[in-house]
Amino acid sequence: MAPTSCSLCRDAKAILKRPKTGQQICKDCFFFVFETEVHHTITEAELFKSGDRVAIGASGGKGKTTAVIWPDMLIVLMADSTVLAYVMKTLNDRYNYGLELFLLSIDEGITGYRDDSLETVKRNQQQYDMPLKILSYDELYGWTMDAIVEQIGKKNNCTFCGVFRRQALDRGANSLNVDHIVTGHNADDIAETVLMNIMRGDIARLGRCTLICTQGEDTIKRSKPFKYAYEKEIVMYAYFKKLDYFSTECIYSPDAYRGHARTFLKDLEAARPSAIIDIIHSGEAFEVKEEIKAAQKAQQTCKRCGYMSSNDLCKACTLLEGLERGMASSVITDRARKKMDAMGPTPENLRTIPLFRSTPTITVEMPSQS
């Protein structure tokens, strides 16, 4: 086949077929359109204002329950958060957003899994000259994922990891005193979540899951600058920019339901690449009735740690209590919670998970001068 020339500059050799538009474009035009689209996503949604302190969730994760495709083998690609850090820095410099950027990374304590990826994050910190904060499950909760799996087995451990990671990002953001956390959720992730919420009949979440910016727990905003960026392009961007990223497998068990949704989505994309953006569009177009939106339980603060919660205890404190009392595998539902309460009073010496709220002294590992 004769080389195709770029449909934008009509000059250089095309290296990529864009899934969103079908355009065949060259490397330089690809970098330009990818970055510019993220810039437009950010400016149209007015995500930031000058002077904002923004943490980039560089856990390598999605900030959601561990997603997985490959049965009993979780591949975590750091590409998303590595590309996010790189693009945020590029746009902040190019368009003078005036943001103060931080890398925030979570160490789940899975031997051989996050160790190497944390090394990548540390290299990113030096490459991008950003302060880095690493917060571990061990220091927050007193439990590593290794210890949790040892106690409860490989079933349901994604529930723990998901709740613990989300709260860890919020608590880490508190300790950095930031206004905003950005995460690497991409168009594929959001389309997949739309599908899952439809399949589960979770209309309240369906209404929320396409929002680019949410302000759930606490006052810290969370947003997704890659909301409209295809995973294919993120991975291609990392490859052609030669960004230093990392991939490995989680040795613990996967979230099978999300895996099925992902496989289904990838099959749809293979048949018609616009499917991903089309599903997001459908998700955005749903109008959820006010009474369904309001069906969420009233928010209060956790009686033990002070984190936002819809029950007396927040999810992390509930899960932690179950772990400490050796009843962890049954603490996932409200009914199991009642059963645990019936087993006797809560032990006195239970850990209070630190909140790090507006701490005056911020301990951040600064990039070393090299």
Q: Of 153, 212, 159, 143, which is closest to residue 183 (Cα–Cα)?
A: 212
Give the nearer residue to another protein in terms of CB position, either 97 or 246. Answer: 246
State the nearest-atom distance from the C-beta of 62 to another protein, in Å: 6
How far apart CA 258 and CA 235 sit, in angstroms, is 20
Give the nearer residue to another protein in terms of CB position, either 70 or 286. Answer: 70
Phi, psi (rounded to 5 degrees) for 301: -110, 150
CA 313 vs CA 134, 142, 156, 323, 353: distances in Å: 26, 18, 20, 14, 12
184 in a known ligand binding site? yes
State the nearest-atom distance from the C-beta of 16 to another protein, in Å: 5
- Residues in contact with another protein by CB under 8 A are 1, 3-4, 13-17, 24, 59-62, 66-70, 73-77, 79, 231-232, 235-236, 239-240, 247-250, 254-255, 258, 262-263, 266-267, 269-270
DSSP-derived secondary structure letter, 220: -
Give the nearer residue to another protein in terms of CB position, either 66 or 318. Answer: 66
State the nearest-atom distance from the C-beta of 36 to another protein, in Å: 20
State the nearest-atom distance from the C-beta of 4 to another protein, in Å: 6
Length of the chain as a residue count: 370
Q: Is the dihedral of CA 175, 165, 348, 310 positive or negative?
A: positive
How far apart CA 309 and CA 286 sit, in angstroms, is 27
370 in a known ligand binding site? no
How far apart CA 15 and CA 163 sit, in angstroms, is 40
State the nearest-atom distance from the C-beta of 242 to another protein, in Å: 11
Question: Which amino acid type is present at position 245?
Answer: Y
| Contact assessment for residue 43 and residue 92, using Cβ atoms and an 8 Å cutoff | no
59 in a known ligand binding site? yes
80 in a known ligand binding site? yes
Angle at CA of residue 228, ends 225 and 230, nearest 5°:
110
How far apart CA 135 and CA 149 sit, in angstroms, is 20
As annotated, the binding site for ATP includes 57-59, 80, 106, 184, 189
As annotated, the binding site includes 57-59, 80, 106, 184, 189
